[in-house]
Amino acid sequence: MGDARDQVLAIVADILAVSPEMLTGQSSPKSVESWDSIRHLNLVLALEERFSIQFSPEEMEQMQTIGQITSLVESKLTGTASS
């Protein structure tokens, strides 16, 4: 699962155009300057494509920090997502 976490971080860093070292589980649109509405949608779509998953609107509601995004991806990959 650590591998998925690293991949999520790499995708986030790539789309937000920041170094992965600058990101933490608490990083959010508020704390990352380049994280705007368009990049957020780009991020959702990139994660869906990379992991062959689909986020429902209810799941997207939980994607507000990198920690939340990582947990959601991991839970979907293990089939434990709640929605």
Partner 1 sequence: MGISIRPHSAEYAGAVLRFNQRLNAGGAEDWMQAEPQPEARWLPKKEGESLYNETFLAVENDEVRGSYVLKHQNFSFGGNQIHSIGYYHHPVSEGTIDKTYAPVGALMIRDAIRRQPMLYALGMDGPGKPLPQMLKLLGWKIWLVPFYFLVLRPFRFLRQMEIIRENARNRLLADLAAFSGFGYLGINAAHALRRMRRAAATYSVKCVPVFENWTNDVWHSGKIQYSMVAVRDSSVLKKLYPASEQHFTRLQVFRNDRVVGWAVIAQRGPKPRFGNLRVGSVVDCFAAPEDASLIAHAAADALKERGFDMLVTNQSNTAWGKAFKHCGFFEGPSNFLFAASPQLSRLLDPFDRTKVQTHFTRGDGDGLPRSF
Residues that bind partner 1 (CB under 8 A): 28-30, 35-42, 44-45, 55-58, 60-64
In single-letter form, the type of residue at position 31 comes to S
Shortest Cβ 9–partner 1 spacing (Å): 18
Residue 21's closest CA among 76, 69, 30, 12? 12
Q: Which two tokens stand for residue 71?
A: 């947990």
Judged by beta carbon, residue 6 or residue 36, the one nearer partner 1 is 36
Report the C-alpha gap between 12 and 58 in whole angstroms. 20
Shortest Cβ 68–partner 1 spacing (Å): 9
Judged by beta carbon, residue 14 or residue 61, the one nearer partner 1 is 61
Shortest Cβ 17–partner 1 spacing (Å): 15
Judged by beta carbon, residue 2 or residue 30, the one nearer partner 1 is 30
- DSSP label at 9? H
> What 3-state DSSP class applies to 15?
helix
